[in-house]
Copies of this chain bind each other. A is one copy, B any other.
Amino acid sequence: KNQINQIIREEETKRETHEHIVDSVDLFLFLSLLILVILTIWFLKHKKFKYVHETGLAIFYGSIFGALIRYVFKDNQKRSIFFTPANLTLNSIDDLPEYVYMSIPNLTQNFVYKFKEPSSDTSSMVSRDFEEKVTFNPETFFNILLPPIIFQAGYSMKRKQFFKNFGAILMFALIGTTISSFVIGGLMYWVVSWQKSLGYMKFLDCLLFGSIVSATDPVTTLSIFSDQNLDLSLYSLIFGESVLNDAVSLILVQQIEKFSGNSLEAGQFFRAIGSFFVIFLGSILVGSLVGCTNAILTKFTKIKHHPSLETALFILISYSAFYASEAIGLSGIVTMLIAGIFQAHYTFNNLSVDSKFQTRQIFHLISFLSENFIFIYIGISMFTFRNHQWEAGFILPSLIVILFGRAVNIYPLSYLINLTRSSSNKIKLKNQNLMFFSGLRGALAFGLAIRNTSTSSRQLILTTTSVIVIITVVFFGGMTKKVIELLNIESADSTADKVDKDKNQKIKGKFKAFLSKLVIFKLLRSLDKKFVKPFLTNSRPTLIDNLPNKLLPIARLLTTIEQIEENDGFNEENFLINDSRGQFENISIN
């Protein structure tokens, strides 16, 4: 008996060593793929080759790697056993044991097994060592890779154009995405109803699919369109929509998941809309609170004298916004975007010169790597994910349906928005066409789809979403440059004069609501300029200048010496930041 125990103990050490080596090989291969992608990006840049984009490259390399793992490297198959517990009644998931202890006669040790997932088929019983390792947890994807990408988007955003187009962006994101979800969901349900073999796709499954694929992706959009020197107003529309509709899509998916099993009732429907707004506004609140906290910390302490500590603090606080938001059930993505914008608008002014550079560069680098890692992973999972459902009767129609869903979002809403805009400022038809074309689906859709694959319908959703992501990214992404040329879209430079003229545009609003919203925006802007920015940053003017004389003691308390001594010229200074594409981007500090 002792001898068997001894053997098991030794073997356990061997098993751990083996596990460690597999982990190392796994990480080494992922890094090698990333290195390969970077070298190819550089090579294509060097040769000025236009029609392949880095996201497409990453997916391509990932797929090759995935196929190799699946079909070439035949590593050890692991043994599995079945058992039926004697007296376990399962009325709810809380009754499901988290751990199973296997005890074996003769051995003093038990073997602990931890719950992993429910599984509806037995084909996945054959599991292979390495394949399992490369298929990482969707949680990792959400918690580690996504936040820096979204934060970087907010932190490096051209805020002026974003806020100028805020009404239109909100309309496309909120209303457009909802329309698109229901149109795609409805049409797909109609498609499904013709096919007996797809009987497991219920209406709510189709609606879920619609919501998942309605989110155009900021990751892909950012990385493809930021290269293009596009008219800033158009860029902010495309990018702004893609960021905010993620949140919309995410919340829609959550609400639909709550419904499933129940029939749709009007009461529930309105409650869903209510909780949608609570989540949306709550997320914005958390993001702005985190941004302000960081601004206050950097303004009123002297941590500036230790730039490395300051940079570390800035990064940690920014990241924590995401988790704080998710922890209380809000949308981390919206929070992260808002935190990024607030940090850029307020905190950035208080940082030491070192930290200004470092924070920009580090977030740029992290988001660049995360992005490529995600696309490599999408490629890999096409082959290593075991439960793909290849149903041509669903996948092929979906490709046409999503185009239609995109069209009923962009064109009717553009028409409505144009009704409120001056003639010089309307969204031109060719720009609408580009917006239609820019509906790339990417990392977020994939992330939502892979999160739950416990049923056949969920598996079909994952397979279809993966196909849509790859096709839109590789095909639409690769064609973007060509399409911009074909559509004769204006570049940022050629519209620069116009933007100035537009400042004096008159809004002949047909929708009074829009007008009032703009008044609110104006009010917010002047509030920010007069009070919030002087309070939160070290830039001029100070609160002493702007607050009424009565409040002078408070104003003095909230004004630092640095702020009074501030050289007005400094804040106007422009930073030259070198982006991953080797272009110099001119980033104004204000």
Give A contacts to B, CB under 8 Å: 4, 6-16, 19-21, 23-25, 27-28, 31-32, 34-35, 38-39, 41-42, 45-46, 78-85, 88, 90-105, 107-120, 122, 124-125, 127, 139, 142-143, 257, 260-261, 301-303, 305-309, 311-313, 315-317, 319-320, 322-324, 326-327, 329, 332, 354, 357-358, 361-362, 364-365, 368-369, 451-452, 454-455, 578-582
Q: Which of B14, B79, B119 contacts A109 (CB 8 A)?
A: B119
Q: Which of B20, B124, B323 contacts A25 (CB 8 A)?
A: B323
* Chain B residues, Cβ within 8 Å of A21: 326-327, 329
* Chain B residues, Cβ within 8 Å of A15: 93
B139 contacts A23, CB within 8 Å?
A: yes
Specify the chain B residue showing the minimal Cβ separation from A137: B23
Report Cα–Cα, A454/B8, bound state, in Å. Answer: 11
| Interface pairs A-B: 10 shortest CB-CB | A11-B93, A78-B98, A306-B582, A113-B113, A28-B323, A24-B326, A308-B580, A24-B327, A80-B99, A31-B320
B112 contacts A119, CB within 8 Å?
A: yes
A575 vs chain B, min Cβ distance (A): 13
A103 contacts B82, CB within 8 Å?
A: yes
Q: Which of B312, B332, B454 contacts A365 (CB 8 A)?
A: B312
Report Cα–Cα, A317/B31, bound state, in Å. Answer: 8
* Chain B residues, Cβ within 8 Å of A319: 31
Q: Which of B45, B94, B113, B580 contacts A114 (CB 8 A)?
A: B113
Specify the chain B residue showing the minimal Cβ separation from A26: B323
A226 vs chain B, min Cβ distance (A): 13
Report Cα–Cα, A384/B303, bound state, in Å. Answer: 33
Report Cα–Cα, A369/B81, bound state, in Å. Answer: 43
B307 contacts A578, CB within 8 Å?
A: yes
* Chain B residues, Cβ within 8 Å of A78: 97-99
B317 contacts A35, CB within 8 Å?
A: yes
Classify the secondary structure of A's interface with B: helix
A113 contacts B115, CB within 8 Å?
A: yes
Report Cα–Cα, A578/B139, bound state, in Å. Answer: 36
B93 contacts A80, CB within 8 Å?
A: no
Q: Which of B13, B97, B142, B579 contacts A452 (CB 8 A)?
A: B13
B139 contacts A20, CB within 8 Å?
A: yes
Report Cα–Cα, A302/B42, bound state, in Å. Answer: 9
Report Cα–Cα, A19/B358, bound state, in Å. Answer: 34
A489 vs chain B, min Cβ distance (A): 26
B38 contacts A578, CB within 8 Å?
A: no
B362 contacts A19, CB within 8 Å?
A: no
A82 contacts B101, CB within 8 Å?
A: yes
Query: A7-B91, A35-B313 are known contacts; what are 13 more A-B pairs with Cβ within 8 Å?
Result: A8-B90, A13-B260, A28-B323, A35-B316, A80-B97, A83-B83, A99-B125, A100-B100, A113-B115, A308-B578, A308-B579, A312-B580, A362-B365
B103 contacts A12, CB within 8 Å?
A: no
* Chain B residues, Cβ within 8 Å of A303: 39, 42
Q: Which of B93, B101, B105, B143 contacts A81 (CB 8 A)?
A: B101
* Chain B residues, Cβ within 8 Å of A8: 90, 93, 118
Report Cα–Cα, A313/B368, bound state, in Å. Answer: 12
A313 contacts B39, CB within 8 Å?
A: yes
A84 vs chain B, min Cβ distance (A): 5
15 A-B pairs in the complex with CB atoms less than 8 angstroms apart: A4-B90, A7-B92, A13-B257, A14-B93, A32-B320, A79-B96, A80-B98, A82-B101, A82-B102, A101-B119, A111-B117, A112-B115, A113-B114, A308-B361, A309-B580
Task: Tell me which of A8, A32, A91, A323 has the highest count of chain B C-beta atoms within 10 A of its own C-beta.
Answer: A323
Report Cα–Cα, A514/B305, bound state, in Å. Answer: 47
Instruction: Using A114-B113, A308-B580 as known contacts, say yes or no to A454 and B9 having CB atoms under 8 A apart.
Output: yes
Q: Which of B117, B312, B316 contacts A112 (CB 8 A)?
A: B117
* Chain B residues, Cβ within 8 Å of A13: 257, 260, 452
